[in-house]
Structure 1
Amino acid sequence: MKRTHLPLNGLRVLDAAARHLSFTRAADELAVTPAAVGQQIRALEDTLGTVLFRRTTRGLELTPEAEAGLAPLRDGFLQFEEAVRAMQAGQSSKSLTIAAPRDVTEKWLMPRLAAIAAADADLRLILLAADDSLDFAQANLDLAIRWGAGPGAEEGEAIEADGLVTVAAPGDTTSATIGWPGAPDPAATIGVADAGLAVDAAAAGLGRATVPELIARADLASGRVVAVGAPAPSPSGYWLVAPLPQWRQKKVQALVAALGV
C-alpha cells in the first residue's frame, strides 16, 4: 500500500479501540461518538480486507490478524511522535535566517538586531540580501523584509513608518536631485542603487533624495541629514513577511515582537 493511501485515521482509531476493547471508551478518548468509531473500524476492515474485532459474550475481542499488527502499529505511532517532537524542537532554537534589502538591513534592521542579540547570547543570525524574487524554501528563510502595499501571498506585519520623506545635507540649498530605482528621476544629477545610498549621497551634499522614512530615520535623528518639507503618504511600505509555517514559529514571532514593528 502506498504511503499516500495509508488509512492513518482508521489506524489511530484501531489503536484506541484495541487498548480499551471498547468502542465507547475509545470514542471518549478520541472525542468522537461510538458510532463514528464503529464506522472507522468498518472502513478500515474494508480497506485491509481483514476482520479486526469480534463481539463475544465476554465483550469485544481482537482477531489474531489485528493482534499481529498492533505492535508494529504502536511502534510506528511512537516514531510519529518522535518526528513531531524533532520538528517542533526547531521552533525553540535561536537560529534565524533573515532576508532584507541591503539598505533596510544597514539603516534599520542591523541596529535592532544588535540590541536584541546583546540581550540573548544564544541567538544565531544569518542575514541575506534579498529582493522580491527570493524563494523562502530554497534559501531556508525564516523571515524576510519586503517593500509593497501588503504582505502579498505570505503572512506579515507592516513596519510602522511615515511614508516618504525628502532629505538633504544640513544647510544644503541645491535643487539637484538624487534618483534611485524606487524613485527614478530623469533630471537627477546622480543615480544610485537603493534608498540607503540615496540618503548617503544626500548627506554628502550631492542633492536631495526622496526615500522611505524608515530608511532615513536614523540619519534624520542623528542630524546627518534634514527633512525638506513634511513626509508624504505612500501606498507601499516595508513588511515583515513569511509563509504561514515559518510565520507561526515561536522564534519568528518572538523576533517580530522584539523588533517592535
Structure 2
Amino acid sequence: MKRTHLPLNGLRVLDAAARHLSFTRAADELAVTPAAVGQQVRALEDTLGVVLFRRTTKGLELTPEGEAGLAALREGFLQFEEAVRAMQAGQSSKSLTIAAPRDLTEKWLLPRLAEIARTDGELRFVLVSADDAPDFTEANLDLAVRWGEGPGAHEGEAIESEGMVTVERPGGGANAKIAWPGCTPDDASALVRVGDAGLALDAAAEGLGQATVPELLATRDIAAGRLAVVGEPRPSRFGYWLVAPLPQWRQKKVQALVEALGV
C-alpha cells in the first residue's frame, strides 16, 4: 500500500483497541465513542481485506492477522513519536537566527542581545544582514527586522520609536546635510551620501553635517554625548518591525525574544 494511502486513523484505533482488548476503553483513551472505534475498525478491516478482532465468550481478542502486524505497527508509532520530538526540538533550542539591517544591528540590536544573553548563558544568536525584505524561504531564520509601514506579509510587532530625528556633532558641524537611501534631503543638496542610516550617524559625529535618521538608531549616541539633537523628533509612517511567518512567530523562543527586546 502506498504511503499516501495508509489509513493512519484506523491504525491508531487498532493499536489502542489491541492494547485494551476493549472498544470501550480504547474509546476512552482516544476521546471518542465506542461506536466510532467500532466503525474505524470495520473500515480498516474493509481496507486491508482481513478480520482483525473476534468476539468470544471471554471478550474481544485479536485474530492471527491482527496479531501479525501489531509489533511493526507499534514500532512505527514509536518512530512517529521520535520524528515529532525531533521536529519540536527547535522549540526548546536556545539558538536563534535573526536577520536585520546592518545599521540597526550595530546601533540597537547588539546592545540588547548582550543584555539578554547576560540573563541566560545558554542563549546563542546567529545574526544575518538583511537590508531588503527578509526571505524566510531561503534562510533558516527565526526572526527578522524590517523597515517599512507595517509587518508586510508576516506576523509582527512594531519597535517603539519617536520617529525621525535630526542630529549633528555637539557644538555644531558643517552647515550641510548628510543623505542616505530613503531619506531627505535629496542628493543634490547633500555634502555626503552614505549607504545607510548608521553611516549617516557616524558622518554626523565626525562633523560632516546634519543627518535625519530613525530616532531608534540615534538614542545611544545621543545619550553618550556623541551626537546632539537639532529640533524635535518628527513622526514617521515608516518604522522598524520584528517579523516572522506565523509558524516561526508562534515559537516560544521567538515570543520570549520579542518580549525581552521590549517591543
Quick check: TM above 0.5? yes
Which range moves more in the overlay, 124-133 or 211-220?
124-133
- 2:239 maps to which residue? 237
Q: 1:197 to 1:173 in 2, by over 3 A?
A: closer
- 1:260 maps to which residue? 262
**2: CA distance, partners of 1:230 / 1:2:** 68
**2:198 aligned to which of 163, 188, 196:** 196
Aligned identity (percent) is 77
Deviation per CA, 1:139-166: give whole Å up to 9, x if none.
2122211112222222222211111112
On the 8 A contact 1:181/1:193 being kept in 2, the answer is: yes
**2: CA distance, partners of 1:150 / 1:4:** 40
**2: CA distance, partners of 1:46 / 1:217:** 70
On the 8 A contact 2:101/2:146 being kept in 1, the answer is: yes
On the 8 A contact 1:96/1:142 being kept in 2, the answer is: yes
SS class of match (1:161):
coil
CA apart distance, 1:102: 0.3
SS class of match (1:41):
helix
SS class of match (1:228):
strand
Q: Does 1:83 align with 2:83?
A: yes
CA apart distance, 1:108: 0.2
- 2:178 maps to which residue? 178
Which range moves more in the overlay, 17-26 or 54-63?
54-63
CA apart distance, 1:88: 2.4
CA apart distance, 1:75: 0.7
**1: CA distance, partners of 2:244 / 2:4:** 28
CA apart distance, 1:111: 0.9
**2: CA distance, partners of 1:230 / 1:36:** 69
**2: CA distance, partners of 1:206 / 1:47:** 79
**1:223 aligned to which of 205, 221, 225:** 225
- 2:99 maps to which residue? 99
- 1:248 maps to which residue? 250
- 1:39 maps to which residue? 39
CA apart distance, 1:70: 0.9
Q: 1:44 to 1:237 in 2, by over 3 A?
A: farther
CA apart distance, 1:218: 1.0
The 4+ residue runs of structure 1 with deviation greater than 4 A are: none
- 1:29 maps to which residue? 29
CA apart distance, 1:175: 4.7
- 1:146 maps to which residue? 146
Q: Which amino acid aligns with 2:111?
A: P
**1: CA distance, partners of 2:71 / 2:37:** 21
CA apart distance, 1:174: 5.1
SS class of match (1:138):
coil
Query: Structure 2 stretches of 5 or more lacking a match?
Result: none
- 1:156 maps to which residue? 156
CA apart distance, 1:257: 2.2
**2: CA distance, partners of 1:36 / 1:233:** 61
**1: CA distance, partners of 2:248 / 2:166:** 36
Deviation per CA, 1:173-194: give whole Å up to 9, x if none.
7552221112152322221111
Query: Structure 1 stretches of 5 or more lacking a match?
Result: none
- 1:209 maps to which residue? 211
CA apart distance, 1:121: 2.4
Q: Which amino acid aligns with 2:152?
A: G
**1: CA distance, partners of 2:148 / 2:51:** 59
Q: 1:4 to 1:167 in 2, by over 3 A?
A: farther
On the 8 A contact 2:24/2:33 being kept in 1, the answer is: yes
- 1:18 maps to which residue? 18
**2: CA distance, partners of 1:117 / 1:42:** 56
CA apart distance, 1:253: 2.3
Which range moves more in the overlay, 241-250 or 162-171?
241-250
On the 8 A contact 1:27/1:33 being kept in 2, the answer is: yes
Aligned length: 261
